[in-house]
Chains A and B, each alone.
Chain A
Amino acid sequence: MDENRFDEVIRDLPQSLNTPSEPPLDEMWKVIEDAHFNSPASTRRPGGMNSRAPWLAAAAALLIGIGIGRYVPLGNETQQSGNAASAVASTQRLAAGADTSAIADAYRDQTSNYLGQAAALLISLPPQNASGKADAAFAGKAADLLVTTRLLMDSPAAQDPKLRSLLEDLELVLVQIARLRGERNKGDLDLIHQAVEQGDVLSRLNSAVVTNQSSE
Chain B
Amino acid sequence: MNETQLIARVIAGDRLAGRELYDMHASRVYSLAYRLSGDAEKAREFTQDAFIRAFSRLSQFRGDAAFSTWLHRIVVTVVSNARRSEIRFGREVALDEAHSIEATAQQAEPDLRECIARAVENLSEVYRTTLIMHDIEGYTHAEIAGILGVPEGTCKSRLSAARAQLRQDLAAFKE
Chain A residues at the B interface, C-beta cutoff of 8 Å: 1, 6, 9-10, 13-14, 16-18, 20-21, 23-25, 27-29, 31-33, 35-37, 42-47, 168, 171-172, 175, 191, 194-195, 197-200
Contacts and interface: CB of A to CB of B under 8 A. Distances in A.
B91 interface: no
A37 B137 CA distance: 31
Nearest to A31: B48
Contact of B85 (A29, A36, A37, A198): A198
Nearest to B29: A23
Given A18-B35, A23-B30, A198-B81, A46 B56 contact: no
Given A9-B116, A18-B35, A20-B34, A195 B49 contact: yes
B34 A21 contact: yes
A42 B11 contact: no
Interface of B: 8, 11-13, 15, 18-19, 22-23, 26-27, 30-31, 34-35, 37-38, 40, 43-45, 47-49, 51-53, 55-57, 59, 78, 81-82, 85, 112-113, 116-117, 120, 132, 135-138, 163, 166-167, 170-175
Contacts of A43: 13
Contact of A27 (B11, B44, B112): B44
A17 B56 contact: no
Given A10-B166, A28-B30, A198-B78, 11 more contacts: A1-B172, A1-B173, A14-B136, A20-B34, A20-B40, A23-B47, A28-B47, A35-B52, A37-B18, A46-B11, A172-B56
A36 B53 CA distance: 9
B13 A45 contact: yes
B38 A18 contact: yes
Main secondary structure of the interface of A (DSSP, over half): helix
Q: 10 smallest A-B Cβ distances: which pairs?
A: A23-B30, A20-B34, A198-B81, A18-B38, A37-B15, A36-B55, A46-B11, A32-B51, A46-B59, A35-B52
B83 to A, nearest CB: 10
B22 A13 contact: no
A7 to B, nearest CB: 10
A175 B56 CA distance: 10
